[in-house]
Chains A and B, each alone.
Chain A
């Protein structure tokens, strides 16, 4: 079986536990204004305007697994594995199922990074072959969620509650953009909602990074919000104060904001809080 993959990164340290290989799958049902991978939204193979750089290539399950297998020794040493991300990996559901099944069969830890906007059955089917979901929660306010991502959040929250009740392990990842979804009320809502989840292992904040804007230009996509800014140190401190460090997790460290961008697989600087 084949699917469209736009990147495979090895040695990722921030897309789940340990050292990981992240497989970036093309296509996403959302259109987040802050999207760090705008070129991933279309399911089609695309070409950069100026550089002729191609985004996306058709790969078979076996080809992807060939890449994933290369770092097996590092997964076992670090508690890492494979992370299927995107875009939104559930957009290529059969391909994703085949990949998760293949990795699982080889004893590789499987994480799926998802925006949660997919039919419930997808998540039910994924349950037995996924060790960890990295679940994006972008905004608890339904109206603004629709405004910023193009879809309402009801289904996303519903799926998350389903995973929680089914006993799945998950980390919540929350992209925060100053002025859009980081008000005290937003943070409080996020805090209150996540407190009610029994199986959440971790809540990560992903401060906005304007990386996506450059990519928009490169692939001739028009950004929908141009004026977004990176959270300041004060913003980060405020996030921390709200989303108190949970036991065993270090708080977000503002100084790390200065680190060169793009180190993480997704372009997000993630903080465990």
Chain B
């Protein structure tokens, strides 16, 4: 228990920082990210901006990033094993930045009419959302990366005009590295300064070690576990500062060699190792995977996996750790993960299903070895560390909107499906054209200066990862609004075709008027009470499967016009509100502007008994099945968690889901009463962390509308 007090103080400070963020920034419906606010006096004065507040191209990004790093405040906590916290997102400093629509220096107005028509989140100009290979950085250190970049620059500088971009890119990479190195140097100095005023001998010793490590890591690669976590944290913070990137890696395997060496040398104990991991996880809720098969099919679970898991359990804060569940796994790790999930009720760890992920990804023409390495490192997504460019989780088609267009055009039930298919195909086409447009221009708009460094290819080839640098291109397109559309089709089929209780025209009129008047409300109630997706065996269930076939039919195995592979998924991220606002009333009884459904989840109330097995089976039945996910977002209330065999039951539920083809499970174990109370008075539970979707967040940092969604998802079973 050597570190208990330090952990407690670190956690308390994190909660306080979250409160300050909440006060100053207001509600934010996204990940906590681990950033802290800069001192109020700090002024950002980026060197490169045009008259409209924009910048683009490698040189400009590098100059601005270097300025930020060179001036970045140095946060030092004498209790922490790691120096630094990150404070800015450069990518959000361009004037007019929106989460849903990135600044882009190139005109794609030719695509916009259709993108708007189908409410497509285009991904154009979106950054990150693929995974780095930390091993590259851990092996080379910043000094080694700098050398590598300089050597490549030298090679390209003889290449004349053709190589001009590569030269500019390498120059930019150099600037970026110099910026990070400058910050590391300053972090070291700040830690050293702080020793002067520190009276507690243990904390002073800690600060001295911190200073030594920072200064060493300016150039050299890490050699001990503590150095390795500091290196990873610095890369994470720098990459966050550059463009919010949050992808992690296979953390147990990345850290294991350092741990084994340190233990053998008698440098550390397991307690030290756990504390270092605790600090890394506290520093930033990056997405890490533990466990799962190695490329050769052997289990990767090690002592390090357990240490990371226990560190996460002590964290009591926002965290995005995923355990990969597979046949050959160490079930004890899985079980321990479920125990922590149930005991801590903080929404982590998450669980991913290896079988469906591997088999699915192989359908794109990849080997089993490669498929096993495609790990959970994002909100809903898997990625091959350092090998792949994906635009994961940023390209979405709002199928509720596609349905709306198709429905408006249909005069009869018989026309509806064909119209949906036609418009969905058109939506995919314009989405794919958008992806090509992005891939054509992003390297000039916003090169991936940080992630290029930890990818195999971009530096060697002198090409940005978004423009030929990556080894593989697997571009994600997610559908959003599955349950709304499945229930809409299902409600019409049941009430109009099967029961003849309503006519198609009546449904159209009621929907067009947003269910106005008594008659409209009666119609709405009839539609709303039709069998839902998730109930099992309903018309809507069959439609959900069919919609998945349609999704696959247009996306899986297809490429963009320029030949880049596409992979389908179902996912809404935290965007159910925004998507919902774009869509009028729908025939599932949903009123205009109400939120759309979440990911692959059925709508709340899908079954009277809220049966979790029914939900698990339904979501498994709509897996697109090509290696990208359709996650199951599950709220389990305390009742199940209290049961003495809850661990087994939850594991059985997950095993069943994975056996049926499930890919990723995000679980919130909630105390319904506590959430309701926190919704009434958010200040009451400043430490309440909930899993919003792929990410966790402090409940009180969410907007009231968003909190409502979390509240609604609570399964209140009425007998």
Which residues of chain A have a CB within 8 Å of any CB of chain B? 7, 9-14, 18-19, 21, 66-67, 70-71, 73-74, 77-80, 211, 250, 253, 255-256, 258-263, 265, 267, 272
Contacts and interface: CB of A to CB of B under 8 A. Distances in A.
Nearest to A21: B613
Given A77-B653, A253-B642, 11 more contacts: A11-B609, A11-B612, A14-B643, A18-B649, A71-B614, A78-B652, A258-B673, A260-B637, A260-B716, A263-B640, A263-B717
B1 interface: no
Interface string B70-101: 00000000000000000000000000000000
Interface stretch (B510-518, B557-565, B589-597, B655-663): B655-663
A10 B614 contact: yes
A265 B537 CA distance: 21
A74 B656 contact: yes
Given A11-B609, A11-B614, A77-B652, A262 B643 contact: no
Nearest to A261: B719
Given A10-B614, A260-B637, A18 B609 contact: no
| Highest count of chain B CB atoms <10 Å: which of A10, A80, A259 | A10
- Which has the most chain A C-beta neighbours within 10 Å: B609, B615, B655? B609
A263 B719 CA distance: 8
A175 B245 CA distance: 56
B196 interface: no
B713 to A, nearest CB: 15
Nearest to B716: A260
Contacts of A19: 612-613, 649, 652-653, 656
Contacts of A259: 637-639, 642
Contact of B656 (A7, A73, A258, A272): A73
Given A250-B644, A259-B642, A10 B637 contact: no
A211 B719 contact: yes
Nearest to B607: A10
Task: Name the residue among A74, A262, A265 with the largest chain B CB count within 10 angstroms.
Answer: A74
Nearest to A253: B642
> 4 nearest interchain CB pairs?
A78-B652, A11-B611, A10-B611, A11-B613
A260 B672 contact: yes
Contacts of A74: 613, 616-617, 652-653, 656
B4 interface: no
B536 interface: yes
A41 to B, nearest CB: 16
B559 to A, nearest CB: 35
A77 B655 contact: yes
Nearest to A9: B609
Interface in B595-649: 607-617, 637-640, 642-644, 648-649
Interface in B696-719: 716-719
Given A74-B652, A74-B653, A262 B719 contact: yes
A79 B716 CA distance: 25
A259 to B, nearest CB: 5
A256 B640 CA distance: 10
A240 to B, nearest CB: 14
A77 B614 contact: no
Contacts of A211: 719
A70 B652 contact: no
A76 to B, nearest CB: 8
Contacts of B613: 10-11, 19, 21, 70-71, 74
A22 to B, nearest CB: 9
Nearest to A259: B639
